A and B are shown apart, each in its own frame.
Chain A
Amino acid sequence: MSNKTVGVLGGGSFGTAVANILARNAEVFLYVRNPETIAEIEKTRISAGQQLADNVHVVNELEEVPKRCNVIFPVVPSSNFRELILQLAPYLRPYHMMIHATKGLDLQLPTQQSPDFSLTKEHVFTMSEIIRQETVVVRVGCMAGPNLASELSMGHPAATVIASPFNEVIQAGKSLLSSENFQVYSNSDLRGVELCGVLKNIIAIASGILSGLGMGENSRGLLVSRGLVEMIYLGRALGGEISSFIGLAGIGDLVATTTSTNSRNFTLGYKIAQGKPLEEAIQEMDEVAEGMNTIKIIKQLADSQQLKPLITETLYKILFEGMSAENGVNFLMRYQGNIDIDFL
């Protein structure tokens, strides 16, 4: 067993793209949950619409992956993340490394809530925290950046950030992922980088709303810059470092997702702006946009910590409290902004 074999959990579009990138440097064991999907992949060598590299081996037994690989990349939606990690936990050992690529938050509410219950940091977890809680794995990292699966699969030049407090995790990630077309940057602020990936989804919904209302690029420039300030403001309160937000995983990813018209979050915003009620907009989409959940969680967290994130709160009103998209945008525009940047 050496670092020349590597595991990927999750055969969705991003998981497949990651497996293919890794396949340039190592033998890859790709875990896919559904046996029918596996049969299909084995027949066609196509997963999530992408051609699989020859040295990607599809496995159905979860324990195969930690048995064969020291480094494992979980790439599954945040809603399934904890469940998967729990299933995997008995097979994991302290020498394993995990680098996840999931951008979302996990909410754990107490079974009995007192009437004065308020959501706090104790109830909200990032994916790396789930790994630390549920397994003996300590050498944990994440992969984040402007990595639109569709573009990765076409082999366009791109880059990612591997964040971990452990240099050896970053080194492992670098040696496994780097290639001609794919650069890897490092960051030791794991929490900050995870929060970047989570918070940008909020701004992506707002960006969709601007497009849906037919507004131009001036307004998007305003949104991206104010959105970044809000991300930093929230990210710092939740334990991230400012520097991560102005790096590739922060501003880099933010620009990519707010301008890409085919992201789920963008699409949700777009539909809302066109006057569709939330339920209808969701029904029209295949998967739930991660950003909607994030807005709910962040709004409650901000309330309990007495923070005032303007964009998130306005989006919350638009999505869940019946404010119209126009009124929301007007409110944001009328809001007296004074200082551009006050955190550097």
Chain B
Amino acid sequence: MSQDYVKKKYDPVVPGGINEWPVVALSRNRQEFVEEVATESIKRIKAQAPTREALIEEIETTVFREKLRIKRNPWAVDPEDDQAFLNTVKDRLLDISLSDNDAEKDERLDSILNDMVLRYSDEIAGNFKKSRYRMARSIVTFGFARLLNASRARGFWSIFSTQYTLQDKINITGEVDNLRLLAKKGTIVMVPTHFSNLDSILIGWVINVLGLPAFIYGAGLNLFNIKIISYFLNSLGAYKVDRRKKNMLYLETLKSYSSLAIQRGCHSLFFPGGTRSRSGKIESRLKLGLLSTAIEAQRVNYQKGKRDAREKIFVVPVTLNYNFVLEAPSLIKQYLRLQGQERYYVENDEYSTSYKITAFLLKFFTKGSDISVSIGKAMDVLGNYVDENGQSYDQKGRTIDTQEYFTADGRIISQNDQREVEYTRMLSERIVEEYLKINKVFASHLVAYTAFIILKKRFKKLDLYNLLRLPEEDLIIPYEEFKASFKSVLAKVHKMYGEGKLSVSPHLAGDTDGIIKHGLKNVGMYHAKRPLIRNRAGDITTQDLNVLFYYHNRLTGYNLEKYV
């Protein structure tokens, strides 16, 4: 194990304990906050639909789409009165069209808008409870640790052993100390990569281990379908994000929620890729909606005269790496089927029962697979690195006053939405760059990558879909050929590591055969059909090319292809 895999005990960052967490304050005044979010959202919606006609059209569109959603894609978590509520909205809209008093029309319209937005705001808002948080925390820690010990130390009595803890399995590396320092000084917006439904719980556990106060975070509403996950997420401070609702009213409410919570100093976490990476690639294009709220919150803080580091917002990219992702086969199938036609995609939910998730967790923790969490360097909302005092620096090490990005002629702090859209795009590019740098290359990813590229080069003329349909007998790679290519990619990976362009797992050290063996053993180890195995002759082959493609994708974006 390398040096940076040191197991540590971290004290809580906030000395006053849980009662002083901003998220606790937020939940204490939940109703008040929900109303504040609604008021802010209405302001935004009216800015986008400034006339009565435009507003009516926006509401009508929303009702129409919502009805369609209920019909086509209902979820267990949806409130039962959705349909009834929408019908009343429809009736009330009809009443407006019958009235000929303008003042009355506006009043009624405002009231409809208020009801709709308040409903969304209430749905989104988290339900953080101190007692539940404490309990969930101990269940996660205790439960996982027991499972681990059962699998690692073997034997029945090991259930009570404390020989192994979660930190043996989940390696947290990177800029941990800086993160802790900055969490005391300002507000953290953590943006991890997203591969598995497990990510939400995992990252919640990580935040706790690092002694950080609970973050609020956006979790897909579909996760709340499952009682056990819903329990954890609720108690860990999650707010709900429903990807089915793409109407403007909902999206503005969601953004208001995020922005106001950040302004109030709640550390926040969201997966900027939106959904889990279906292809298995590291996110290269981020969703800008929630990301923009970090920039907006920073500007609002400056406008309110909040100038010291305490009100500064720090963006922290994080990559999560697994040797296998439970959902890989279904994710990659969806990716391949739906590539290029995302619009017609219906959000489905392969994690639908508590039984499935429990079975998964059991297998996950008994199969002895490592997980790594790499914490990247913190940046300001423009993507400049910051030091432990929260001071921003440019590439040449000169200090930068972040406020000056929001000033118009050197003095006035101005609001300019189009400027912030562009800043959001720039920030997203910086986050992606950072992902590539801190991403830990596992031996399992590297064997998958090498094998897939060898096959791809062998059948140069085939496009991806034909390649994936190749018969088994074409998929055998002689071990020596594989090893030679693997060695060359490995050398390049180590070189790039030296240049700070990526990060590597400690398992990438030692002799090549050993690394290959470790990689083969771990790549997609959970799947019934293994993406990569050695056959009886000792050669490399695959039982599931789609899944091999999925794990290979983890290393796209580094231009490693020519080294195979």
Contacts and interface: CB of A to CB of B under 8 A. Distances in A.
A138 B409 contact: no
Interface string A150-169: 00000000000000011110
A228 to B, nearest CB: 29
A94 B401 contact: yes
Interface string B406-420: 011110000010110
Nearest to A70: B409
Q: How large is the interface on A (under 10, 10 to 19, 20 to 34, 35 or more residues)?
A: 10 to 19
B426 A138 contact: yes
B410 A136 contact: no
A123 interface: no
A95 B408 contact: yes
A168 B405 CA distance: 13
B404 A167 contact: no
B382 interface: yes
A93 B384 CA distance: 13
Given A94-B405, A95-B409, A165 B400 contact: no
Contact of A3 (B404, B409, B418, B422): B409
A165 B422 CA distance: 7
A2 interface: yes
Interface string A94-120: 110000000000000000000010000
A1 interface: yes
A133 B408 contact: no
A90 interface: yes
Nearest to B403: A94
B395 A133 contact: yes
A89 interface: yes
A167 B407 CA distance: 15
B396 interface: yes
B394 to A, nearest CB: 5
Nearest to B414: A168
A89 B395 CA distance: 11
B461 interface: no
Interface string B362-406: 000000000000000000001010000000001110101110110
Contact of A95 (B382, B395, B410): B410
B398 A95 contact: no
Interface string A121-144: 000000000000101101100000
Contacts of B426: 138
A1 B407 CA distance: 13
B400 A94 contact: yes
A95 B422 contact: no
B416 A95 contact: no
A93 B422 contact: no
A168 B416 contact: yes
A138 B408 CA distance: 13
A161 B404 CA distance: 27
Nearest to B422: A165
Interface string B115-152: 00000000000000000000000000000000000000
A37 to B, nearest CB: 30
A89 B398 CA distance: 10
A93 B404 contact: yes
Interface in A149-205: 165-168
A89 B407 CA distance: 19
A138 B418 contact: no
Contacts of B423: 138
A31 B394 CA distance: 25
A116 B425 CA distance: 34
Interface in B413-466: 416, 418-419, 422-423, 425-426
Contacts of B419: 139, 166-168
A113 to B, nearest CB: 15
B404 A94 contact: yes
A167 B405 contact: no
A167 B414 CA distance: 14
Interface centre among A1, A95, A138, A166 (most CB of B within 10 A): A95
Nearest to A135: B394
Given A94-B400, A95-B409, A133-B395, 6 more contacts: A1-B409, A70-B410, A94-B407, A136-B398, A166-B418, A168-B408
Interface of A: 1-3, 70, 89-90, 93-95, 116, 133, 135-136, 138-139, 165-168
